[in-house]
Amino acid sequence: MNNKIYKAPPTPKLSGIATKLLTVYTEWQQHLPTIAKTLRYSLGVRIDQLFAEVISLTAEAQFSIKDIRQEIIGKAIIKNDTLKFMLFCLFELKGIDNKKFLSLSIKLEEIGRMLYGWKNQCLKNNKPDKTEK
């Protein structure tokens, strides 16, 4: 019999954006079962897919080379903006109440600002020096 004791793998260290994304996605998952079935299995599924895409693109950007990072962050920004719009559509269709909508929207706005800041930082870092000719 094997009596080895296995340790749990270490918790990954997440960036600020990844931590915020995880927080808002966890909150979304708590609200998802309360949405009416017709909206949950249409718009709710699409919103869930967009969350997964933003998370995936953010992780991809974190581990990509500097040359393509800016492009990946741009895609994450587009997906995040689409996610915010779809969430607004769900709110307009009365699929989510005002309090839940505001809580999620505020956090997604903050994530958007963080992504834009990251993209702008990449732009600054990728500019060639004028002294090099």
pLDDT tens digits, 22-42? 999 999 999 999 999 999 999
With respect to residue 47, please indicate whether it lies within any of the assigned structural domains.
yes
pLDDT at 129: 59
With respect to residue 6, please indicate whether it lies within any of the assigned structural domains.
no
Q: Which residue has the tokens 């979304």?
A: 28
Is the pTM higher than 0.95? The answer reads no
With respect to residue 28, please indicate whether it lies within any of the assigned structural domains.
yes
- Domain hosting residue 69, numbered range: 16-125
- CATH of residue 117's domain is 1.20.1440.60
With respect to residue 133, please indicate whether it lies within any of the assigned structural domains.
no
pLDDT at 4: 78
Domain count, the chain: 1
Q: How confident is the model at residue 15 (pLDDT cuts 50, 70, 90)?
A: confident
- Per the prediction, the chain carries an average pLDDT of 91
14 pLDDT exceeds 70?
no
pLDDT tens digits, 76-120? 999 999 999 999 999 999 999 999 999 999 999 999 999 999 999
HEC string of the chain equals: CCCCCCCCCCCCCCCHHHHHHHHHHHHHHHHHHHCCHHHHHHHHHHHHHHHHHHHHHHHHHHCCCHHHHHHHHHHHHHHHHHHHHHHHHHHHCCCCCHHHHHHHHHHHHHHHHHHHHHHHHHHHHHCCCCCCC
With respect to residue 132, please indicate whether it lies within any of the assigned structural domains.
no
With respect to residue 36, please indicate whether it lies within any of the assigned structural domains.
yes
